[in-house]
Amino acid sequence: MGVDAVALNIGSDTWQWDRVVDAYNAAAASGTGLKMFISFDYTSFVCDNGYATTNWTNYFAKYPAQFTVNGKPMISTYGGGYDCLGVANWKTVKANTNGYLMPFFWDSENTFKTDWAFLDSWYCWGCAWPQGDWDKNTTDDQYYIQQLGAGRYATTISGWFFTHLSSKNFYLRGDDWLIINRWDELFQLRDQLTFVEMVTWNDYGESDYFGPFEGAQPAGTYWAQNYPHTAWISLSKYYITAYKTGAYPTITQDVVYWWSRPHPALATATGDSLGRPNGYNWADDYLWAAAFCSSTCTVTLTLGSSTQTFSNLASGVNKLKLPLAVGTVGIKMVKGSTTVINASPTGFSVVATPSQYNYNVFVGAETATIAVTGTSSSISTSTTSSTSATATSSSTPFTSVGCVAEGTTVIHTQVLSTVHNVIAVIRSRTTEQLGPW
């Protein structure tokens, strides 16, 4: 999909060393060129004189899958600044590893050009989301660019954020096509950024995952189960290409991406003791969609009794929205006189009265595909509930000619490499950030 490297968020659990070894080895064996780097999470990782950080970095730097910048192993963090290793120990770590140091330290404003002048880069974890009831903008990015100076700032992108625990119960505004608008913002900033980090690959408990939903889950995170986000990876491929090349690519495949919450923002849950999350009133009651059209198309969105047709959409990315209503989803795309998508996704519906609050989103992708049957072509559609589109016919327009010897036997193998990312679960305590926890 264009992702260059995966950040592995690590703490102090004894099992993590072996799993990091597995990740590096899996990346090398995948043949994809994907790299790994460690993001030290100092809410758990040891705060010492930097020995442990140096040891981990130098050990994995020798692996073929280690991500490097100009030959230097990438070192990233959540925390570990003034509150942990401190300036002197970080200088020692950098000297002893020859690392490319790109941490997330909080409370570093106004000291980037003094105490932390030796950092190669710094990334803003909380900059992926608006921190109030407004659409995401680049105000915070511009602030940190000014603070850090040219060529030392990295930033982040995400599709969503919602968590519903007694220790943290809040929603950050993901409405108005957050992921698309943020990619467009980063495209405009591409000449001023060192890196872009997609946060996070598999943080199911905070609803900002991109990767497939599997493995052990955080206790009580029912709001992520059966709410896929993987379509956002395919959507992001388009923008990653644009970011890397400086030009938006030509769309050759018609796709409608869509996402929706399962109940209205003001709904009252019948069996939820925690109450609505902070920020619930920032949510707008819409199904959000993006039609990627290879040529002029017409799209109809349906959700229960709510339906709307968007006619003569131009080739390119078209942002659409439909008022939320109780019921199931329907997606239709017509090109000329041909219906190329006619999908009724399964596994998701909107209800008026939930038993528990869920401000997460179900993300789907409906793709137009061509299937060939006999001598004629027909249109079939892949949906979020199936893995492939098939064409069927009541007759078989083929004639058997018996067995025919072939000179060679060719085995075609399709390899699908799935890489899981554990990126830091981070909070910022700065203005425009998430606040302390």
Dump pLDDT digits (tens) for 98-156: 999 999 999 999 999 999 999 999 999 999 999 999 999 999 999 999 999 989 999 99
36-94 confidence digits (pLDDT tens) = 999 999 999 999 999 999 999 999 999 999 999 999 999 999 999 999 999 999 999 99
Instruction: Give the number of other Cβ atoms within 10 Å of residue 427's Cβ.
Output: 18
Q: What is the mean pLDDT of residues 295-315?
A: 98
In single-letter form, the type of residue at position 381 comes to T
Distance CA 142, CA 147 (A): 9
Is the confidence at residue 357, as pLDDT, over 80? yes
Residue pair 300/332 in contact by the 8 Å Cβ criterion: yes
Among 258-272, 281-295, 350-364, 387-401, name the one with the lowest average pLDDT. Answer: 387-401
217 alpha-carbon distance from chain centroid: 18
Distance CA 186, CA 172 (A): 19
Is the confidence at residue 293, as pLDDT, over 60? yes
pTM for this prediction: 0.84
Neighbouring residues of 207: CB distance < 8 A, sequence distance ≥ 6: 160, 161, 162, 163, 223, 224, 227, 359, 360, 361
Would you state the pLDDT for residue 294? Answer: 97
Q: Which of 112, 144, 110, 111 is nearest to 126 (CA)?
A: 144
363-372 confidence digits (pLDDT tens) = 999 999 753 2
In single-letter form, the type of residue at position 192 comes to Q
- Domain spanning 5-245: CATH 3.20.20.80: yes
Question: How confident is the prediction for the chain on average, in pLDDT?
Answer: 87
In single-letter form, the type of residue at position 296 comes to T
Q: Where are the domains of the chain?
A: 5-245, 255-382
Neighbouring residues of 96: CB distance < 8 A, sequence distance ≥ 6: 50, 54, 58
The phi and psi torsions of 430 (rounded to 5 degrees) equal: -105, 170
Architecture of domain 255-382: Sandwich (2.60)
Q: Which two tokens stand for residue 413?
A: 């193998």
Q: With the C-alpha atoms ordered 102, 106, 111, 115, is the resulting torsion angle positive or negative?
A: negative
Q: What is each CA distance from 1 to 4, 159, 193, 237, in whole angstroms?
A: 9, 16, 20, 5
Q: Which of 142, 133, 136, 144 is nearest to 108 (CA)?
A: 144
Query: Any idea which residue has 């083929």 for tokens?
Result: 398
Distance CA 279, CA 284 (A): 11
Q: What is the mean pLDDT of residues 13-29?
A: 97
Q: Is 174 helix (H, G, I), strand (E, B) or coil?
A: coil
Distance CA 178, CA 160 (A): 8
Instruction: Give the number of other Cβ atoms within 10 Å of residue 419's Cβ.
Output: 15
